[in-house]
Amino acid sequence: MKPFTYERAKSPAEAAAAAARTPNAKFVAGGTNLLDLMKLQIEAPQHLIDVNNIGLDKIEETPDGGLRVGALVRNTDLAADQRVRRDYAVLSRALLAGANCQLRNQATTAGNLLQRTRCPYFYDTNQPCNKRSPGSGCGALQGYNRQLAVVGASDACIATHPSDMAVAMRVLDATVETVSGDGATRSIPIADFHRLPGDRPQDDTTLRAAELITAVTLPKPAGGTHLYRKVRDRASFAFALISVAAIVQRDGSGRVALGGVAHKPWRNEAAEAEMPRGAQAVTRKLLAEARTTEQNAFKLPLVERTLGSVLAEAKG
């Protein structure tokens, strides 16, 4: 076991300041990802800052008709909130498609966005992995990559982002709010929050060192029919092979984001103009730059068929 120190912060400012003054510190929220990674010695923070007592556990209405979801709101509470079920049903559905009840009771909004990839080589410390150990190589590129990315990958990493919730946040145009140790705040559009791997796969997001997520803001409701369809190897308690989050309006226009295909929730607003023409036209544009392996090429027709089924369901 690697020794580490621990403190319980009492406010967001205190937590961010503690992270700024302590080298190699990490926030811990529900702990459902971080503690697993520490046990496997994939993450080895020297200091843990427990953020469970800093508030930020409320869902509040914003002046412009949206919702502000505190960073510590548990996945179960967010999925069950009446306003979310009514106006942001794609989010509720995505949350309920993730993990299991016990995990959702513990997992938080911020922690879910920041959970790390499920690439098997990332979890095996005997294998090369540029994300875990920059410069060591990528075991998955020539190895077992059936579950990994088909678009936006690089020669350094073809991992996917595992969150269901983040895909719904992307289709809803959410904004991530943060505070830093010096008190400075930022609002980061979700489109710019998760990164593609490029030559720095170790950085999953654009969050800066010691920056604390305080909330995720949802704009006023977009209306339409909200659907989230997750395709996985087992019917429950499994990560997505691919997933589709869609908001479809009566005239057939709408928005769509994909999970399980890239290092970040995948959305291309230009492809959405094709929605009235059907799933094939949208998929062609959405995945125009796809680069598949022999093992994961099945994801392209799977996206098209799943999107087709989602659009048909939206039409009723």
Ligand X SMILES: Cc1cc2nc3c(=O)[nH]c(=O)nc-3n(C[C@H](O)[C@H](O)[C@H](O)COP(=O)(O)OP(=O)(O)OC[C@H]3O[C@@H](n4cnc5c(N)ncnc54)[C@H](O)[C@@H]3O)c2cc1C
What is the 8-class DSSP label of residue 83?
H
Find the shortest distance in angstroms from Cβ 129 to ligand SF4.
3
CA distance 160 to 121: 12
Which residue's Cβ lies closest to ligand X? 111
Note whether 254 and 275 are within 8 A (CB). yes
> Segment near ligand SF4 (CB under 6 A), from 37-45, 154-162, 243-251, 287-295?
154-162
CA distance 226 to 151: 24
Determine, following the binding rule CB under 6 A, whether residue 239 of this chain makes contact with ligand SF4: no
Residues 112-151 that bind ligand SF4 (CB under 6 A): 117, 119, 121-122, 129-131, 138-140, 148
Could you tell which of ligand SF4, ligand X, none binds residue 180, using a CB distance below 5 to 8 A set by kind? none
Side chain identity at 27, as an amino acid letter? F
Note whether 282 and 314 are within 8 A (CB). no
Find the shortest distance in angstroms from Cβ 167 to ligand X.
9
CA distance 70 to 57: 5
Note whether 29 and 72 are within 8 A (CB). yes
Joined tokens for residue 63: 């002046």
Find the shortest distance in angstroms from Cβ 136 to ligand SF4.
8
Find the shortest distance in angstroms from Cβ 127 to ligand SF4.
7
Residue with tokens 């992270």: 19
Side chain identity at 225, as an amino acid letter? T
Residues 12-71 that bind ligand X (CB under 6 A): 26-34, 51, 71
Joined tokens for residue 175: 């904004």
Could you tell which of ligand SF4, ligand X, none binds residue 159, using a CB distance below 5 to 8 A set by kind? ligand SF4
Q: Which is nearer to ligand X, 42 or 279 (CB)?
A: 42
Could you tell which of ligand X, ligand SF4, none binds residue 131, using a CB distance below 5 to 8 A set by kind? ligand SF4
Paired sense of beta strands 225-231 and 25-28, if any = unpaired
Binding residues for ligand X, per CB under 6 A?
A: 26-34, 51, 71, 98-99, 103, 106-108, 110-112, 114-115, 162-165, 212-213, 239
